[in-house]
Amino acid sequence: MNVQPVNEEMRSAAQAALDRKTKPRGSLGRLEELAAQIAAIRGSVAPEPLRAAIVVAAADHGVAAEGVSAYPQEVTGQMLANFASGGAAVSVIARRTGAELVVVDVGVVTPSAVEGVRNARLGPGTANAAAGPAMTRAQALEAIRRGRELAEELSASGFSVVALGDMGIANTTAAAAICCALLERDPVDMAGPGTGLDEHGVAHKAQVITRMLEVNAVDASDPIGVLAALGGFELGLLAGLALATAEMQGVVVLDGFITSTAALVACRIEPHAAGYLVASHLSPEPGHAPLLYSLDLRPLLELGLRLGEGSGAALALPLLAAARDVLVDMATFDEAGVSDTGR
């Protein structure tokens, strides 16, 4: 199966429908654009109420050994348990939003035996990408395949929106390296503080990314090769999840820098996938703005969120629901008997 372009006729029909609703033309701004995009993705000018799942994919990164994070690697597995038991930010926000939270272990170093964590483990974290490839090409393909499998299951269960979340100590390093490779950017531009590095930490991180790129000699025209070389398991699963969700006309909601990097990989595999993406927010992580720009995406929120785990995507879900409702449930000027003299 391939990703089809989103339905531009439905986008236009939705905009025309919005123009008949009881409000001045265009007065709901970006909410109208979002509604029209949802129509284009779902292939309907009156899409069913959206049902959203938030997938938090967690894995560890061998490159953590280079001292690129403020937190130890054991935190990835600990947070996985916290997601599943309902105490993490994304758990709390998902509950409030009525979204289904799906927590996936794609390969943390210290797995937790907590109920509610799905096992999609590809190993106890990736290898250190500053010393060689993070994973084999077969592992990268398998991570993508498992993401596709999950997308199919979610679609079959009636979820029309899939929000991407991530957890993985050192995964901003992996993501920044992938962005450098695919966008041909300098590590100094893409390395950021992540969960809380200081200036020296960020400079060290940029050096580590430079080493990752030198050691692996990746080819920007081979996104799967880039993913395999630089990691991580969760990035691969999220890329596959985005790809197959787009294939099945689902809406893919990005969170921050990591999930947007997974989407970049997906779009390098299938360029039409970009039309199915919604950027929930702009992170202060310095690589996020150029990354979203490269995908031609404008974020909905700008609240200084830099947590990851799908928390920003979860916060944007009510905007998607409202956009769909405005398109489908609002009265037209005719229906409501309101004079329409505006332009």
Residue 3 or 79 having the CB closest to a copy of itself: 79
Bridge partner list, 21:
332
Using the minimum distance from each CB to a copy of itself, give the nearer residue, 227 or 314.
Answer: 314
Q: Kindly state the smallest distance separating residue 14's Cβ from a copy of itself, in Å.
A: 15
> Is 100 among the catalytic positions?
no
Smallest separation (angstroms) from a copy of itself to the CB of 304: 3
CB of 65 or CB of 319, closer to a copy of itself: 319
Phi-psi region of 328 (alpha: psi -120 to 50; beta: other; left: phi over 0): alpha
- Residue 243 Cβ vs a copy of itself, minimum distance, rounded to whole Å: 28
Residues that bind a copy of itself (CB under 8 A): 21-25, 27-31, 70-72, 74-75, 78-79, 81-82, 85-89, 92-93, 95-97, 195-196, 198, 284, 300-307, 311, 314-315, 318-319, 321-322, 325-326, 329-331, 335-339, 341-343
Catalytic residue among 66, 234, 247, 309: 309
> What φ, ψ does residue 273 adopt, rounded to 5°?
-60, -25
Tokens describing residue 26: 């265009």
Q: Which is nearer to a copy of itself, 296 or 335 (CB)?
A: 335
Closer residue to a copy of itself (CB): 258 or 266: 258
Residue 38, beta-bridge partner list = none
Contact 61, 232 (CB under 8 A): yes
Q: How far is CA 218 from CA 182, 212, 244, in A?
A: 9, 9, 25
Task: For the CB of residue 4, give the shortest distance to a copy of itself in the complex, in Å.
Answer: 28
The least CB distance from residue 164 to a copy of itself, in Å, is 18
Least Å from the CB of residue 321 to a copy of itself? 5
**Choice between 4 and 110, CB closer to a copy of itself:** 110
Nearer of residues 133 and 299 to a copy of itself, judged by Cβ: 299
Amino acid at 266: A
CB of 51 to a copy of itself, least distance (A): 13
Show which residues are catalytic: 309
